[in-house]
Amino acid sequence: MSRVPAELPDLLTVASVPQIAAALAHASTALGLGLDRRDVCLLLAQVAFETGLGKSMHRWNLGNAKHVDGDGRDWCSFACTEVLHGREVWFFPPAPACRFRAFRSLDEGAVDYLSMMRRTFRSAWPALLSGDPVAFVSALKAAHYFTADVGLYTRGVSSIFTSVLARMPEDLETTVMPWTADDELEVGALCPGNAATLTSTGVCLPLPMVDAESLSEALSEEQLACYEAGLSLARADLEAEPLTQPTGKA
């Protein structure tokens, strides 16, 4: 029986760079996308830029994907900004612009993120596979993935990509990505984002937080059920409309 999408309470879900890298690699395998080390690094750089190095991630939403009615995903709401006509504009719940996809585990979020990038933003997929962060960000901007300044976004993703590529092991499926406190400081300086949300009065409030480091390696029964449902939904999305571009490298 399929689950009925629901609104979930907003929650700050913190994951380390190695955890996000491993989740992306596992999701690539689960979806049969065949991404290599460089591809994963470029996606990791974009996720890190979007989520402040994994410290400002809400409900395991790796790419800050918006929720729209009928997309089949759970959602949560929080204050956010968009750049409209060159000006940064704040939106506050219950405005539709504040609704973002929400997940119950990092693995579920990673599967949905890759599915979204492969299908919804498929025009950027060749740039991803080329391993060129400038071309990748340019393609995402052209596809209306983000409204922020493209120069700022490009510099951030490119710098983070160079840093994580130097640290990424050859086989993410069996090797944990090395990551030190110095790495966190160096690469973290390249990322925007903070662990707070705003009320309609502009007051910063701390969010309830879940740290992936403190979670059991085994998913709970509910998390596993949601992951399996999310994986089925992602596979259905990818199969619904045949895509002419390759899913991975030959």
- So what's the pLDDT on residue 150? 93
Task: List the chain domain ranges.
Answer: 12-235
pLDDT tens-digit readout, 57-90: 999 999 989 998 888 899 999 998 888 888 888 9
Tell me: pLDDT of 204 over 70.
Answer: no
Q: Which is more confident, 242 or 233?
A: 233
Q: What is the 3-state secondary structure (H, E, C) of 102-157?
A: CCCCHHHHHHHHHHHHHHCCHHHHHHHHHCCHHHHHHHHHHCCCCCCCHHHHHHHH
The domain 12-235 having CATH identifier 1.10.420.10: the answer here is: no
Tell me: pLDDT of 196 over 50.
Answer: no
Residue whose C-alpha is closest to residue 10's, from 202, 205, 191: 205
Tell me: pLDDT of 249 over 70.
Answer: no
- Token pair 């994907």: residue: 65
- So what's the pLDDT on residue 216? 47
